[in-house]
Amino acid sequence: MTPNRVGVVLFGSQARGDGDALSDRDICVFVNFIGIYERPRVREELARRFDTDAASVCVYSESAATYMAERGSLFLWHLRLEGVILEDPGGFVRDLLGNSLRTYNGYARDLACYAKIVADVRADFVVGKRLLPVDLHALFVASRNACLLLTMAGGKPAFGRSGAYSGARGLHPNLPLSRASFDRLSAFHVSYVRDSASPSTLGPVEVAQLVTDVEELVRFCALSLPGTSNLERPSGEGPVTSRQVLVAAENTIRGRPSNLSYPLRLRIERAVFRVLHAEFGDRLGGLQSVRSDSRARIESASRDDSPVRSQRIAASAFSIIDRVALLASGDPYVVDQQGHGTPKGRGEVVESLADDLVLLARLTDE
C-alpha cells in the first residue's frame, strides 16, 4: 500500500519569509502510515512533488504525530508558530497543531543533553588542542537550541538559524554569547552541512574562547529556564573517546527503538566523524560528501599501509551514517497500548545500527 498524505506543512526560513541563498525549502508531510524501508522512496517522491530535495523532507505517520503532540513536541510547536499549511484536506494538521498540542515542558531534559554535548567538545579539545568541523557544528547546534529554549520560555519563540539568537538577546540583553561568536559558529555550521569551504582557520585561543562562550551560555540558561536551576554541570568524566561514545550509544539504543534522540544522534555523528578523521585526515570532506561517498573514493582515501582496515572503518562508518539518517527522517516514537506505533522495520534498523556501532568501536582498537 502507498501512504496517503493527510497534511503538508512548509516550515523554516521559506515559511517565515527570511530565507537566503543558503536556505532549504523544508517540508513536513503527515501520512496515514509509513514503514521505515518505504521512507527513502516516499521522501524522494515528495521532494519532487514539492520542489525541494529529499533531505529537506520529513515524514510522520498520524499515530506518531499524535503522540508527539501529547508530549508537547518542540518541533510541532515550531510548525504551529511558524509553519504554513499547504495541504490539510481532513483537518488533521489544524487539530494536531491546535487543541491537541500540549505545552512544551522539556527545558531541563533538553538543556541537559546540550550541556553534555558541549562538555564532550571541551574534553576533546583539551586532549587534542583542536576541533573538527563536526565539533564546531555541534557547538552551533547547542548554542542555537539553547537560545531557542530561552525564547520559548520568554513567550516569544524563534526558530530560525539566526532568529533564535536575536530573540534570546532581545529577551536577555546580558546574554553571555556575543553576536560575533554566534555568527562565527553559524558560518562553520553552514560550511559543515553544505560541505563547502571552511570560512576561516581558527587558532587554539579562538577555539578555546568559542567553547567557553557556549559553556557560559548553557550556564546562563540553567539559571534562566523553568526547572533547570538544579541542572548538574557535566563533569566531563563521562564518555570522551570516540570508542566510548560509540559503545555508550549502542548500550542506549539496543532493543529500544525510541531511544535515538536528536542529541544522541549528534553525539554519534561526532564520534563517527572523529574516527574517520583519525583514519583519513581531511580527505573525506564534510557531511554531504561522506553521505554520497563511493567505493572508489573509499579506496583512494585508504591508507597505503592498511587499506583493508581503512575500508572496513569507512564502510562501517558510512553504514552508521546512513542508518541514523534513515531513523532520523520521522516517526521517532515507540509502540504503546493506545496504538501509537513504531514504523514497520524500525526495530531491525536500530539493531543493525547497534551492531555497526560495536563493529566500529572494535575497529578503532585494532
Residues pairing with 9 in the sheet: 28, 85
- pLDDT 10s digits, 293-339: 545 555 565 555 556 778 888 888 888 888 887 777 655 444 333 43
Residue 90: pLDDT over 80: yes
Per-residue pLDDT at 336: 39
Residue 24: pLDDT over 70: yes
- 240: Cα separation from own chain's centroid: 19
- pLDDT 10s digits, 329-346: 655 444 333 434 445 566
Residue 266: pLDDT over 90: no
Angle at 164 between CA 22 and CA 192, to 5 degrees: 40
Q: Return the C-alpha cell found at 214.
A: 557556549
pTM for this prediction: 0.84
- What's at 336, amino acid-wise? D
Rg (CA), the chain: 20
Q: What mean pLDDT comes out for the span 132-155?
A: 94
**Is 76:97 a contact under the CB 8 Å cutoff?**
yes
- pLDDT band with cut points at 50, 70 and 90 for residue 212: very high
Determine the 3-state secondary structure of 8 from DSSP. Answer: strand
Q: Which of 37, 106, 31 is nearest to 75 (CA)?
A: 106
Per-residue pLDDT at 242: 83
